[in-house]
A and B are shown apart, each in its own frame.
Chain A
Amino acid sequence: MPSPEWKVPAIKLEHICKRFGDNVALDDVSIDLAPGEITALLGENGAGKSTLMKVLYGYYSADSGRVLLDDAEVRIRSPRDAREHGIFMVMQSPSLVPELPLFENLMMFDPRMRGASTLLTPRSVRDLPEATVELANQLVPGVDFKKRVFEFDLPTIQLLEVVKVVMCEPRVLILDEPSAILGDHEMRRLYDYLAMQRAKGVLVVLITHKIRDVRECADRVLVMRKARLAAERRANSADRELLADMMAVNGNGNGAVSDRPPPSEDEAFSATGLAGSGWRDFSISIKHGELVGIAGISGSGQTELAAMLSGFAPAAAGTIKVSGERVSGSLRNGIFPGIGYIPHAPRDNAIAAALSMAENLLVRHLRELPPVLKLSSTHRRVPERLRNRVIDLKVHPPQLDLPAGGLSGGNLQKLVVARELGHDASAVIAVYPTMGLDPATQELVHNDLRAAAAAGKGVLLIHEDLEVLREYCDRILVVADRRVAGTFERSNANAHEMLNLMTGGKHAA
Chain B
Amino acid sequence: MRHRLEFLVREVGAPALGVLVLAAIFFLMNGANPGALFRQMYSDAFGGAFSLSQTFLNAVTILLCGLAVSLPARLGLINVGAEGEMIAGAIAGTGVILWMPSAPFALLMPLMTLAAMAGGALWGAVIGAGRAYLNVNETIASLMLNFVAADLLEYLINGPWEAPGSGNWPTSNPYPPNAMPPVFTLAKIQVNSSVMLALIAVAALVFWFTYTRAGLIARFLLHNPRLARFAQIPAQRWTLIVMAVAGVFPALAGIYQSTLVEGRLQAGFYTGYMMAGFVAAWVARNDFIALIATSLLLGGLFSAADALQLDANLPASTGIVIEALIIIVALLLRMPRRAPA
Smallest Cβ distance from B274 to chain A, in angstroms?
Answer: 28
Contact with A along B211-248 (1 / 0, CB 8 A): 11111110110011011111111110000000000000
Name the residue among A57, A348, A360 with the largest chain B CB count within 10 angstroms.
A360
Q: Which of B230, B234, B235 interacts with A363 by CB under 8 Å?
A: B230
Within 8 A of A (CB), among B181-215: 209-215
User: Does B338 touch A at the CB level, under 8 Å?
Assistant: yes
Q: Are B213 and A373 in contact (CB under 8 A)?
A: yes
Q: Are A355 and B223 in contact (CB under 8 A)?
A: yes
Contact with B along A296-335 (1 / 0, CB 8 A): 0000000000000001100000000000000000000111
Q: Are B211 and A359 in contact (CB under 8 A)?
A: no
Chain A residues lying within 8 Å of B338, measured Cβ to Cβ, are 78
**With contacts A59-B341, A79-B341, A369-B216 known, is A363 near B223, CB below 8 A?**
no
Q: Which of B210, B211, B226, B235 interacts with A350 by CB under 8 Å?
A: B226
Smallest Cβ distance from B341 to chain A, in angstroms?
Answer: 4
Q: Are A378 and B341 in contact (CB under 8 A)?
A: no
Q: Which of B214, B216, B226, B232 interacts with A348 by CB under 8 Å?
A: B226
Q: Are B341 and A78 in contact (CB under 8 A)?
A: yes
Q: Are B232 and A374 in contact (CB under 8 A)?
A: no
Q: Are B224 and A366 in contact (CB under 8 A)?
A: no
Interface size on B, residues (CB 8 A): 25
Contacts A57-B341, A354-B223, A362-B216 known; 14 new A-B pairs at CB < 8 A? A59-B341, A91-B341, A312-B229, A333-B229, A333-B232, A333-B233, A334-B230, A348-B226, A352-B224, A363-B227, A364-B230, A366-B216, A373-B211, A375-B216
In angstroms, Cα B232 to Cα A349, docked, is: 14
**With contacts A353-B223, A354-B223 known, is A335 near B209, CB below 8 A?**
no
In angstroms, Cα B220 to Cα A312, docked, is: 15
User: Does A145 touch B at the CB level, under 8 Å?
Assistant: no
Q: Are A334 and B228 in contact (CB under 8 A)?
A: yes
Chain B residues lying within 8 Å of A360, measured Cβ to Cβ, are 227
**With contacts A372-B213, A373-B212, A378-B216 known, is A349 near B341, CB below 8 A?**
no
User: Does A142 touch B at the CB level, under 8 Å?
Assistant: no
Chain B residues lying within 8 Å of A21, measured Cβ to Cβ, are none
Within 8 A of B (CB), among A181-221: none
Chain B residues lying within 8 Å of A349, measured Cβ to Cβ, are 226
Q: Are B231 and A364 in contact (CB under 8 A)?
A: yes
Smallest Cβ distance from A417 to chain B, in angstroms?
Answer: 13
- Can you list 12 contacts pairing A with B, beta carbon distance less than 8 Å? A91-B341, A334-B228, A334-B231, A351-B227, A354-B223, A359-B220, A363-B227, A363-B230, A369-B213, A375-B211, A375-B216, A376-B210
Q: Which residue of A lies closest to B209 (CB)?
A: A375
In angstroms, Cα B338 to Cα A78, docked, is: 9
Chain B residues lying within 8 Å of A311, measured Cβ to Cβ, are 229
User: Does A371 touch B at the CB level, under 8 Å?
Assistant: yes
Q: Are B216 and A333 in contact (CB under 8 A)?
A: no
